[in-house]
Homo-oligomer: A and B are copies of this chain.
Amino acid sequence: MSFTEKKHPDQERASSRRKQVLDAAEICFGSSGFHGASMAEISKAAGMSAGHIYNYFDSKDAIIAAFVQHNMERVTNLMGNLEQCEDPLQAILDDIEKSVHADLHPGIWKLPLEISAEASRNPKIAALVRDADCYSRSQLRSIVAKGRAARGLETDMATLDGRVEAIICMFQGLPTRALYNPALNEAALVAAFRLALAPLLFGE
Q: Which residues of A contact B (CB under 8 A)?
A: 31-33, 35-36, 109-110, 112-114, 116-121, 126, 129-130, 133-134, 137, 158-159, 161-163, 165-166, 168-177, 179-182, 184-185, 187-193, 195-200, 203
Contact of A162 among B116, B133, B168, B185 (CB under 8 A): B185
Residues of chain B with a CB closer than 8 A to A192's CB: 159, 162-163, 165-166, 200
| Chain A contact residues: helix, strand, loop or mixed | helix
Q: A125 to chain B: closest CB distance in Å?
A: 10
Give bound CA distance, A133 to B110, whole Å: 18
Residues of chain B with a CB closer than 8 A to A179's CB: 116, 119-120, 126, 129
Whether B162 pairs with A189 at a CB distance below 8 angstroms is: yes
Whether A176 pairs with B170 at a CB distance below 8 angstroms is: no
Give bound CA distance, A96 to B137, whole Å: 22
Contact of A188 among B159, B171, B175, B184 (CB under 8 A): B159
Q: Can you list 7 pairs linking A and B with CB atoms under 8 Å apart? A: A112-B176, A113-B113, A130-B180, A158-B185, A162-B185, A166-B193, A172-B173
